[in-house]
Amino acid sequence: MLILATFVISLDRAIAAVASTSAPVTAKANNNQALDYTQVGDKIRRSLQLNVSSVAESPVQGLLQVMTEKGLFYVSQDGSYFMQGRIFNLDEGMRNETEAALSGARLSGLETFKDNVIEYKADKEKYVVNVFTDITCGYCRKLHNQMAEYNDLGITVRYLAFPRAGLGGQSYHDMVSVWCAANPQKAMDDAKAGSQVAAKNCDSKVAEQYAFGQSMGVNGTPNIVMPDGSVIPGYQPPEQLEEALKAIM
């Protein structure tokens, strides 16, 4: 394995820095003794104020992979060290193990939103892509203006909401209104064309989709999730997207 690390920190030092506001921490395990997964997750929550959704084995012995609302991280099995980086498998042609883990998590997460997307379905569907979008994003509008071309190539597009300004901006409220409209597809068409969005409210899942996007590393739009869970971060012309889809199918 090859690990490319962005940063490594000692969780015990991080805990000490916030000790005045944190609950007492479970005693550190001996060097040869691993904390259980619950203890590791709790320690990260307390020390770094990250919401931990899962803790699991990683491909590297001695490291656990931790999924949080800010992405995938790694932690030593004794809960002492925390790292952001990528793991590549030298024995498997430099396979990106970090991306493989994220791809699986993306597909699982997308399944939970299958009834909350705004879909533009191809008549002769060959491929399905999920696209994190913002109604104010220039390249999102460019992609949307070519929707007929994507559909003609057999590409179904399913939109998830990712208001780039966050949950406090006007685009968030407008996207809620789009998702809650009587005809969400028409509301999306109008919003992408620059028309004013009629205010609506409902259980839209826009906030949940935004949080999911953040946890999967989305930091801009459009962000295209491919059928295998891989990501193309940015606009792709219809023909180029078709070629990328053919390459993985």
Picking from 181, 188, 184, the residue whose alpha carbon sits closest to that of residue 137 is 188
Positions annotated as catalytic residues are: 134, 137, 140, 164
List pLDDT tens digits, range 154-170.
999 999 999 999 999 89
Reported as a pLDDT band with limits 50, 70 and 90, residue 36 is confident
Give domain limits for the chain.
2-96, 110-248
Residue 239 CB-half CA count within 13 A: 0
Picking from 210, 206, 212, 234, the residue whose alpha carbon sits closest to that of residue 222 is 234
Six-digit token string for 138: 């220039």
Q: Has residue 14 got a pLDDT over 90? A: no
Give the burial string for 91-118 (b: 16+ CB within 10 Å, else e): eeeeebbbbbbbbebbeebbeebeebbb
CATH class held by domain 110-248: alpha beta
Summary mean pLDDT of the chain: 88
Backbone dihedral region for residue 205 (phi beyond 0: left; psi -120 to 50: alpha; all else: beta): left
What pTM was computed for the model?
0.80
Provide the β-strand partners of residue 86.
Answer: 4
Q: How far apart are CA 188 and CA 146, in angstroms?
A: 14
